[in-house]
Amino acid sequence: MKLPHDNMIEISFRLNGKPVSLQINPWDSALAVLRDNLGLTGTKEGCGIGECGACTILVDGLAVDSCLMLGAQLEGRDVETIEGLGTGEILHPIQEKFLSHGAVQCGFCTPGMIMSAKSLLEGNAKADKKDIVEALSGNLCRCTGYVQIVEAVEDAAKEISEATESGRNRS
Ligand code: FES
Ligand code: FES
């Protein structure tokens, strides 16, 4: 992080696999930096106080509420947002399962749910229903009733775990 200039600070970090550097206001949240400075509006702002999980991103692989982090705290970190998953044509397995299970209604909670699920499955591809419910407990959804979301993540866990096993068996 460089010294303040006109009240701005410069931060550098990895964002969805690519290095970025930018000037930010020191008081801006990580959520504001992503949405307003970098134009990545896939990460949503719901409550703004750490209650809803709509703003979930991964920082060094861990799911965090970006509304509760300062942008300055992203310095030197490895940050992933929903924009880093899939390409629009090729979806991440968790995104595919959300679609096939009808786990998306208004979609506002979906990016945060998917990022929390990604963090869980990267640490534990054999996660069971209890693990999934616990990992998603900080993500609120006002539309679906959660059943389809949990089923989608269970199905994604199965697919990712089988793919990992078959990769191991081939090597
Ligand atoms: S917007 Fe961050 S937890 Fe709700
Ligand atoms: S799909 Fe609408 S809040 Fe979850």
Per DSSP, what are the bridge partners of residue 79? 15, 59
Tell whether ligand 1 has an atom less than 6 A from the beta carbon of residue 52: yes
Give pLDDT tens digits for 76-114: 999 999 999 988 789 999 999 999 999 999 999 999 999
Q: What average pLDDT does the structure give for the chain?
A: 94
Atom number, ligand 2, closest to the C-alpha of residue 143 = 2
User: Taking residues 35-41, what's their average pLDDT?
Assistant: 98
Residue scoring higher pLDDT (164 or 85): 85
Contact (CB, 8 A) for 30 and 45: no
The number of the ligand nearest the C-alpha atom of 30 reads 1
Q: Domain 9-84: which topology?
A: Ubiquitin-like (UB roll) (3.10.20)
Contact 43, 55 (CB under 8 A): yes
- Cα-to-centroid distance, 4 and ligand 1 (Å): 28
Where do the structural domains in the chain lie, given as residue ranges? Answer: 9-84, 93-166
d(CA 145, CA 18): 36
Our mutation pick for probing the ligand 1 site, out of 51, 64, 137, 139, counting the most ligand atoms within 8 A of Cβ, is 51
Classified by CATH at the fold level, domain 93-166 comes out as DNA polymerase; domain 1 (1.10.150)
